[in-house]
Amino acid sequence: MTTQEIQNLTEKHGLVITDDINFNDMGIDFRVGIVTDINGQKWILRIPRREDMSVQIEEEKHILDLVKKHLSVEVPDWRIANHELIAYPLLTDKPALTFDANTYEVTWNMDKESPNYVPSLAKVLLELHGISESEVKEKELKIKSSSEIRKEIEDQLKLVKAEIGISNELETRYKNWLDNERLWPAFSKFIHADLYAGHILTNEKNEVSGIIDWTTAHMGDIAMDFSGHLKVFGEESLKLLIEEYKKLGGQTWEHLYEQSVERAAATALAYGFFAVETKNDFHIKGAKEMLGV
């Protein structure tokens, strides 16, 4: 889309913007950009890449309505939300890390060694996971038990193997993980499900101040919300996060750490499934590399 087309789109929905427009095209489902309105206020725009995203957008709107009642940090305040455009005022702080859309270079916007980050993240996770099942049902959001999740992953594994392939090593690891009863929780909690430093905003004290990108939130395995920390901060920091979470009263089980490690390893499978679903050559190529094909 040209600058003028983007301006026409926002004005159609009551938001008049200048030509100060900066888009990041790394998003899979949305084109995401920062724009400035005629009063100097900065906004985030999310423009759907496909026409069939109305249901997904409505679901995320319900998610945001739910979490903003329970979290002590900022979440997006959607002022415009329809099949053509999502727009909300830019949140106060920056993500803990950002990627350059062209070079993929990582920039840290916080001190990743700060002792303040992990305890503040544990606090927010406790708030998020404390959302009741009754409220989740009321918003008609997804609720998944461990047995349902395992069946879903098993089906994805079969599909990915058939369509694009998978290394023997990874296939064996995933099957052992799915068969290992002790790793899987006997309870479900409301989770973000795509939580890592790129979706977590931090303030000048290196504390969590906001969370973005809630598309995949549902009631399920809390290890999903710990696995993204492992990939960025490492094993010892993950162990510390789990301990801080437990100190605050978070419900865990003996093998939360091991389950989080396996969840992190399953990123390749999830990407493979996405590539198969979208039939996108770029993503299929990337998935094959991750899956060892």
Catalytic residue at 194?
yes
Query: What tokens appear for 130 in the block?
Result: 């404390």
- Report the C-alpha gap between 154 and 229 in whole angstroms: 24
Whether residue 160 contacts residue 276, with contact meaning beta carbons closer than 8 Å, is answered with: yes
- Helix orientation angle between 168-179 and 256-265, rounded to the nearest 10 degrees: 150
Question: CB 167: neighbour CB atoms within 10 A?
Answer: 14
Q: Which of 93, 194, 213, 221 is catalytic?
A: 194
Rg (C-alpha) for the chain, rounded Å, is 20
Residues contacting residue 106 through CB under 8 Å, at least 6 positions apart? 97, 98, 99
**Of 105, 75, 29, nearest to 214 (Cα)?**
75
Cα of 37 vs its chain's centroid, Å: 27
Helix, strand, coil percentages, rounded to 5, for the chain? 45, 20, 35
- The SS3 call for residue 221 is coil
By annotation, the residues acting in catalysis are: 194
